[in-house]
Structure formats: structure tokens, C-alpha cells
Structure 1
């Protein structure tokens, strides 16, 4: 059985982007979610106190804030997390927040509600590209899933939750919070030794050692998809580590003036992926492959396949790019 995937997740709300931004720095932390979502800290927003499930064992509603946002996003690898962005200045917010909480509580711990007061946590509205509240956005495996904006009743919300749970199940996110659920387990299963060694190396900032651990894991088990994805992500992190903002700007200028400069095109593609401009990155490399032949073309193709691993093979943009790659290759 494979270990939990190491898809990048945002380290702060300002780094979450609906275009699929990839915050590579969060690979410094294991992708395993906490056993239960964190409760709001003392002194949190009084208008949105945390709630508990019927058994009183685990919170099914928490206040999203800067201190627990990362944990909530990590939790989304186990359970869909529904962010409800609201404001006391938006008259519809209280009713929608109450309705969403009622619906979430009926699912017996299969969903977690994160109530986000945009007045107290404005970065989240910017990160989700929200221009009005209330707005509901779910997160599954660190990826945002827009749901609705404005008023909604219990029936409408319930219908959306059914669809959301189908999407979650298709992505292997089927955990629960409460009696009999993962919240009462001793904890997440330990990572395989080489995967743990890679995570430890990332924590220490030693990307070369992390890459070596993932490569050894692939030698031992060539079909280890998590090691393959982890290796691609770590190698991208290493390439970006020493690139300053000024160097990045110069690289973009070079790529614009020299469209057949392989290193410039690949470098800008790395920047685009790390900044969430996934389709731009893929199209840049595919266009290069379509214009060039020989060793450089194959180098570009291999890099594109590595970036597919970084984004995730189930992402629809990867599927679209695969078709584009096939068209220019054949």
C-alpha cells in the first residue's frame, strides 16, 4: 500500500490560488493530517465559536485563522474541509453560516466546517479570489473546489455536499471525525523509512539528500508513485531555491526574447508552476517541443513529465497537456 501522497499544500492563505498554486515550501512538513482539526485558539472571533459533534469528541466546526490554516489544509487529505468565508457586515452571512453548519453536522464527521471571518482573516479572501461573502469553497487534498457564493438554503447546501463527497471519494478522501473515525485512532500510519528520510531531509533543507532517498525508494519499488511525485517536487524545489526575484525577472525577459533557449523556457516553466500558472507552464514547454528537434526536445519532454508529477496526474490540466504533448510529438 502506498504512503500518503506528497502533493504540495499552502503554507499560508496568501499562497493558496484557485488556479492551483503550488507552494513547494510545505514539503518541509509531512503530508499526513492531524488526528482531528484544531480548535480555535482562546480569544478567537466570538461570532463563530467552534462546535463539536453529537458525541462531543471532535470539532466539526472550527474558526479558520493564520495559526491553524495549514493544519486545516493538511486535514483535507483525510476529510473534505469546507471553508465558509463570511463577514458580520454581510447581512446574509449569519444565516448561510448557520445553514452550512446544520448540514455539515448531519454528515456524522465526514465533513469539517472552517468558518473564516474575512474581517479578521482578509488574506483568505484574497487567496481564494473571493470578491463577495458569504462564499463557500471546499478543499480536498490541498486543492480548492469552489461551491457557491451568496445565499443558499439547507437543501441546496446538502445537494452540493453530496457532490462534494463524491469528488472526495474519487480522490481517496473518505475519512471521518468522531466515534469510530480516524480522530480516535492512535495516529497516522508511519511513512516508509526512505519516505521519512526524505521528509527529514526536506525539513533540514537538504534537497539533495531528499532526492537521493526518493531515488532509492524508486530503485526498491519502481511503481512507488508517491516517491516519484516526491522526487519531482524536491528537484523543482532545488532548482528554485537559489533563484532570486531579480534573476527570475531576467529569466523571463530572456525567455521572451529567445523562445528557443531551452534553459530559459524550462526555468520560466518552473516559476510558473510554483506560482500556480500551471497551464502557462505546460503550454510553454509543449510549444518548445513543437518547434525543436533532437536532444533538446527530449530534455523538454522529460521536464514536462516531471512537472506533471508535481501537479498530480489526476489534475485535469495535466490530462489536457498530455493531449497537447501527443499532438506535437506525433
Structure 2
């Protein structure tokens, strides 16, 4: 893809495409999926692509996704007129249109045909090849689709078992689907050196916060206790913990910020400490975390 005469945004788009697609395609077969958030057929096809490409990873197949709304210039270069549009890329060039393959069996058949005639470098994907998959998993996890995130991170962990980022994502995804026991098993089974990797700090924080989600009647009881005595910070903290475990992080954060505003030193700063644990568990780059940290700073420093 030529870069002469491009403006800065177009040049950056080309650079991103070169890193994510062209460079890996020098030795791998890259399945390039053009999609968008609003595209229903794209969402139906995505699990098929993820599953089959994960199965074929050790044969040199890599999945790359291009959001047509975010990368309009790249989509235009490929003359994408409808989505989903799926190409197979090898050595920087499209070698097949995979769009008609809408089932696992159809996709496998087309991949088998290409792998039989192309000099694809088989074997485990290099570390840099899993970066797009990790980004995909984090995006799915941030959207709250825990089951799909478990599938993505499980496949990455099979491709690269020594990837701390993949193991962290898998643990956090398991917590989202409510399987705390499985998350603990994943962490316990890790090699001690890998388990101490800083990338797993987020997963450890998520595990530390994870408790069985309370029954609606329990939450109602906690709400009643807070309503009966709004100055009871212990009740507020208990309700905040229950709300977070039940998936209401906004409600939990509001209560914790209220406690900090009332008495930041209460119980050795327990409310602020719990907020910081939540921030780490969700991820410091998450937009919700950034917004809530600003609220905390306003409470602390006016």
C-alpha cells in the first residue's frame, strides 16, 4: 500500500495496517475481517472467525480485524462496499476472498486449500502476533461479553501459554461470567515466575474483589440499613461491596466517594483503598476509571 502523497492521518492508518497485517503476513496467512459495531452479520460471523483462526494458529493463521468506521481510509483502499468483508492476506497481498465462508466448515475448507499451496510458516505464533488478539479480547471484555472473552483469551493462552497478558485476561473474563473457582485455578496453575509478572496484578486485584454476588434480598437489606442510618459508613461500605459484586460499579463508586467525602480517614481510609482496588481491577486506562479518578481527586483536593 503506497504512502506517498498521504496526509498525516492517512499515513498513520497505513502504518497501523502495516504493523497489524502486512508484516505478519510475510510469513503467516492473515485473515482480514472488515467489520463495524452496528453490523449484525459481523457479530454473527466474528465467533466463527475467532474459533477457526484460533484452531489454525499453529498452522500459521492469524486473525486481524479492521473497524471500517475507525479505519475508513484502509477500507477505501480495499474498496469495501459492504460488511462483513473478509480477505486472506499473504506477503502483503490479498490471496482470497473469504467473505462467502459463513460457517466453520466453509472457512476450514478454504483455509485448508490455501495452506496446501502457500509457503506458510507454521508453528506457534510469535509474541508480536498475539497483540491484535489481546486487544480484541480486552475490547470484548470491556464490553461486558464475558463468555466470548473467555473463549478469546483461552485460545491466546493455548497459542502463547507464557503470555501473562493472556492469562490475566482469562482470569478476569472468568470472573465476569461468575466462575471465581476457575479463575483461582488458572492463577494457581501458573508457573511461579509467570504468576509474579506485573501484568497479572490487575487479575489479582479483580480476584481480591471478587465475591459471590449477593441475592436481591441481601442487597435490599443492605440498602435498607443505609437508608435507616445514612451516617453508618460500615453499612455504606458493605453495600458498595455488594453492588460491585453484583455488577453495579457506578453505584459502588458513588457510595465509596460519599464515604471519602464524609471522612476520608475512616477505617484507615478503607473507602479510598477499595476504590483504588477497583481501579486496578478494571484497568487504569479504562475511560470509566479515568472519569471516576477525576471525581475522587475533586473530593480529595476540591
Same fold (TM over 0.5): no
Give the TM-score range, shorter chain: 0.3 to 0.5
Structure possessing the higher relative contact order (Cα contacts under 8 Å, 6 or more residues apart):
1
Which entry has the higher C-alpha Rg, 1 or 2?
A: 2
TM-score of the two chains, using structure 1 as the length reference? 0.41
